[in-house]
């Protein structure tokens, strides 16, 4: 069948991880010990993120079993809740505004592959989550998505386009349901 991916031709050399190999390995071990585990202390997690280059505001709560790919590509403002089993796969920049809730199992995915290409090339794009957004349990935000202020992405939904301010979205792909206010 033509048009199917041939993983034998896949190359990822163009992708820049944004940190030295040593820093990446060190983050892998810190992440395993303090983030992906049951380690409960929020303050230590915030300090570790800052140590690895993340920009983190005040009153950020990071629950256990959270996966953050590259902290040096992460910006988190104030009063943010990151629930258990959240996955921030930030192959590109992720910006999280003030008073944002990422509920259990939510995923922020900055990358994907070109399924139309036999080489299956990786592409990435930043994710921006503005103030007062709620990404509900097991919801997914895809590459390049802007979640405008006050938007809600309901449980098990997938956002592959902009969520407008105050909008409530549901489904796969997520569609506008109604306004929050």
Chunked mean pLDDT (size 10), the chain, 181 residues = 73 77 94 95 96 98 97 98 97 97 98 85 94 98 98 98 98 97 83
Select from 46, 138, 53 the least CA-distant residue to 153.
138
Strands 174-179 and 167-171: antiparallel
Q: Which CATH superfamily is domain 9-179 in?
A: Hexapeptide repeat proteins (2.160.10.10)
Residue 31, pLDDT score: 97
- Name the strand (E) or helix (H) holding 165: none
Residue 65, pLDDT score: 97
Distance CA 40, CA 172 (A): 33
First to last CA, the chain: 50
Residue 133 · residue 147 · CB < 8 Å = yes
Residue 13, pLDDT score: 66
Distance CA 14, CA 18 (A): 12
Residue 2, pLDDT score: 57
């Amino acid at each position: 069948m033509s048009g199917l991916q041939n993983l034998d031709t896949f190359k990822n050399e163009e992708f820049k991880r944004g940190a030295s190999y040593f820093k990446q390995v060190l983050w892998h071990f810190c992440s395993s010990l303090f983030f992906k585990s049951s380690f409960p202390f929020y303050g230590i997690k915030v300090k570790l993120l800052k140590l690895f280059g993340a920009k983190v505001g005040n009153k950020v709560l990071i629950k256990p079993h959270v996966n953050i790919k590259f902290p040096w590509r992460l910006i988190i403002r104030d009063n943010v809740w990151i629930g258990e089993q959240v996955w921030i796969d930030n192959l590109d920049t992720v910006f999280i505004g003030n008073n944002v809730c990422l509920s259990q199992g939510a995923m922020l995915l900055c990358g994907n592959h070109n399924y139309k290409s036999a080489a299956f090339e990786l592409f990435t794009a930043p994710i921006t989550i503005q103030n007062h957004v709620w990404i509900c349990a097991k919801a997914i935000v895809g590459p390049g998505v802007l979640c405008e202020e006050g938007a809600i992405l309901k449980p098990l939904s997938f956002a592959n386009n902009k969520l407008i301010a105050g909008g409530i979205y549901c489904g796969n792909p997520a569609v506008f349901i109604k306004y929050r206010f």
